[in-house]
Amino acid sequence: MAARPHEVVPVDRRTASPTTPPRDEDLHRRLVYGDESALGEVYDAFGGLTYAVAARVTRSTNAAEEVVQEVLTHLWARPYAFDPARGSLRAWLSMRAHRRAVDRMCEEERERRAVLAGAALLPHTALAELPLAQRQVLHLAYFAGRTYRQAAVELGIPEGTAKTRLRVALRSLADRLADPPDPAVEKGI
């Protein structure tokens, strides 16, 4: 009896028919011994289920596909992680897919929050990098509510100088915030 492409053919023909998936113990044994066809059978039998679990959690086809790949790679690299005596391969793969998908979503959320936190700190960093004279005029004009003329009087500088420092500071801030530095470049990565 010849197998058709993508048809699950069991290893132990005494306990399974050609239309039923292979027994977990047989697959486990073959995975432990490095039988690549066993991994293909696992994919054929449970790849859709693993994908469905991951897709439900991530709501992304790309992320779900990556989760399936990670779960099956984990099974291939560490076949002893699955113990047929503790439960079915179907349940184990579903659980691994769910955990990995949840971990992935948590990682993405942490990255998103880190980006937002970095964006919130960016204006403060850009202000701190301004020369003191520009920072002083900017602080008086925007945070203390003074006009450039009042700032000039308080700082004891000519009005034209205060106006120029304010304009240069605002232009510098706009440039820095429009094209923020890449943190990876700054760290030398």
- Between 111 and 116, the more confident residue is 111
Nearest CA-CA partner of 41 in 67, 21, 61: 21
In whole angstroms, give the CA distance from residue 60 to residue 56: 8
CATH of residue 67's domain is: 1.10.1740.10
Say if 11 falls within a structural domain.
no
Reported as a single tens digit per residue, the pLDDT across 52-65 is 999 999 999 999 99
Does one domain contain both 90 and 133? no
Say if 16 falls within a structural domain.
no
**Residue that is written with structure tokens 């010849």 in the block:** 2
Domain span at residue 178 reads 129-186
pLDDT at 132: 93
Does one domain contain both 94 and 133? no
Task: Yes or no: say if 134 and 172 are a contact pair by the CB < 8 Å rule.
Answer: yes
Q: Mean of the pLDDT values across residues 112-136? A: 82
User: Burial, 173: exposed, middle or buried (Cβ in 10 Å; 0-12, 13-18, 19+)?
Assistant: middle
Say if 98 falls within a structural domain.
yes
Does one domain contain both 90 and 137? no
Does one domain contain both 28 and 99? yes
**Residue that is written with structure tokens 């915030």 in the block:** 177
Task: Yes or no: say if 65 and 51 are a contact pair by the CB < 8 Å rule.
Answer: yes
The CA–CA distances, whole Å, from 63 to 7, 24, 35, 36 equal 26, 27, 27, 24
Task: Yes or no: say if 89 and 27 are a contact pair by the CB < 8 Å rule.
Answer: yes
Angle at 64 between CA 60 and CA 66, to 5 degrees: 120
Say if 116 falls within a structural domain.
no
pLDDT at 127: 86
Least confident of 8-17, 32-41, 66-75, 84-93: 8-17
Reported as a single tens digit per residue, the pLDDT across 11-67 is 444 444 445 556 889 999 999 999 999 999 999 999 999 999 999 999 999 999 999
Band of the pLDDT at 136, cuts 50, 70, 90? very high
CATH of residue 166's domain is: 1.10.10.10
**Residue that is written with structure tokens 């450039």 in the block:** 148
